[in-house]
Structure 1
Amino acid sequence: MIEALIGVFLVFSLGQSDAKAIVINELLVDKLKLLKYDHIFCQTRTPPWERLHRFYFAVSSPNRNDQFMYFASLVAWLYSLIGVPFPAPSDNDDLNPICSNIVLQLREVGFAPPSWSPSKLKQGHGDAVCSVLDSLVDLVLEIKNFQFAVPMYTDLGKAIVVDEIGSEAADELCVSKPSKPNEAASSVFPDLLTESTSTSKIDPNHWKMDLERLAPQLSLPLVPDGKEWRTHLEQAQQLHAGISKQLVSNNAELERVEGNISSTLEKLQSREKFINSQIEPLTTEYSAVKRRLSEAQQKYGNSLDNVTELTNEIAHISEQIEQVKFHVLELSTFSK
């Protein structure tokens, strides 16, 4: 009962996409129970995964990382039931490849490409996350040939099944007026009809005071959502009207500024041509000097190579002279 009240509150307080996620998430939890996820999937980790409540993937969790890991691990488990290899995620994995791989595997098993980008799954909640899980669970149930049984209704006794009454008969039943007081009521609900009319014992003043006291608490404030397209449309219309109004008064000023800019550009172009004509001889001379400098540097490099080669040759000759001197000195020593 409490979860139902919370769900109604969230549907009216959140946006359209979040409300859709709440409805899908509630059906998703019931379908996962058919697959016994609480006895199989939840035990795949130590400590075990907690059981899902009916709004877990519909709204944001305080711990966004745990919420995404729960989603990705549940997707991996569902893919394993389908027979598609999908690695189980870990806390150190990058989220972008995981989301891209999930969408890629969806295409592999036959689903149409989604209208949203894979990065939307990184949130760990929302209509995209709930849609992925719900589609995979439906596919698993289809593979397992699961069929929902026909609901068994209890015996309602003398109650009337309204769904089996035709539209014309229903209109006639609602419009026709009984000829005698309580005749229709006595024929349809004989056990509920009492001889005396029940009288309320509640003080009207006390009831009115309680109503005035509780009415402000029952009111639901509608916070304007910035994502609502109507808000953007109204803002665009207001901005368009404001710009059109300002354009009429500022059009002459804008034309004057345009004329000033055009004349300034013409002056700059003429000045640029004059400067180019003045520096053209200098540019030609600079190119010639630069070419001669390059030739001189090349000659200097060649001369430096020759000097280095001659220096090495002198060193080699000096070494040979020293060897000859050493041999002459040895011969003179032996001759004595």
Structure 2
Amino acid sequence: MTNMDHGKFTRVTTYFHSLLALDVFLLFFTGYSVMFNDELWWMVEFMGGNAGVLALHRIAGFGLIVLTVFWVTLMLIGPGRRKNFKAVLPTPTDAKAFIQDVQFVLGRADERHPNARQFAGYSSDEVPLLSYVGKGVVWIFTVELVLLMISGLLIWSKVGLAQFFQTKAAATAFVTFHGLLGVVMVMGIMFHIFEHGFHPAFYPVEMKAFVPKSMMPHEEHEDHEGTGIELLSLRPTWKWAVNVAGAAVVIGIVSVLVGSIFDSGYPVPAGLTVGGGPTSVLLTIGINVGMFVLLLGVVLSTYGNVLRARYEQQVASDEHDSEPEAAADGGQPRDE
């Protein structure tokens, strides 16, 4: 690790991040099995058929509500959480960073604004924990989850949906809105997987999302000039891996968007009645490639937690080995 690894999360947040990721992935797998039940017939069968898919989707939706309530409560009453909440609020400096980024792209600025720099070889005291892009991702993701939960609950309760929308057309439009949110969100998730799984400095997984910031070994590079990025080496498998993953992300996003045009009514509360057969072999393959990208996200998340557990064991073992041995009589150890 380098002194770029200033850490992202507390220990609680690392666990919450992993649980939320697994729950959202389950929502995607079950939701898209409903929407693309012809193209993803094997996934429907794997999860127990129509009834199994719908039951798992609702269980995952309930899990999302539980996780959200827990997180909101923690942000309100947890120690130091309000300070963290303020850290993700947009600031005038973020607006300046956005404007300067646009100017930089147009060739009218010499460099990016400090509030836009991440993963660029800067030390932790030179850049904020979250750039304006990172803050945007947090807020977009939060708004989408809230809207998905509200719309999902209304769709789940047909009576409740009818109370708000008295016409069939309005209710259908509301259901379609829920599906549209899912399509938009899955695009962001695929980009998120690609960004944090295949960045050359952190491939195959960015450990800052799994190792608590309290365990980041800052002191190891205090005497080293630079940020430590020059100490990193590019893995031999990165070139072909990033090309394959990048192509899969593009194919998956395009296929899901095209498929959502043909298949409407997502999600269907009662049964899997949408769709009329695969539009084409290529579209069927593309949608399955998109699901492969999501599955890759599950694998990377699991791998990150495995590495976190190994790292914690290594730290605990090093601390134990560095402790002075106690005297045989139980007293204080004597200097040799």
Q: TM-score range by the shorter chain?
A: under 0.3
TM-score for the superposition, normalised by structure 1: 0.22
Bigger Cα Rg = 1
TM-score for the superposition, normalised by structure 2: 0.22
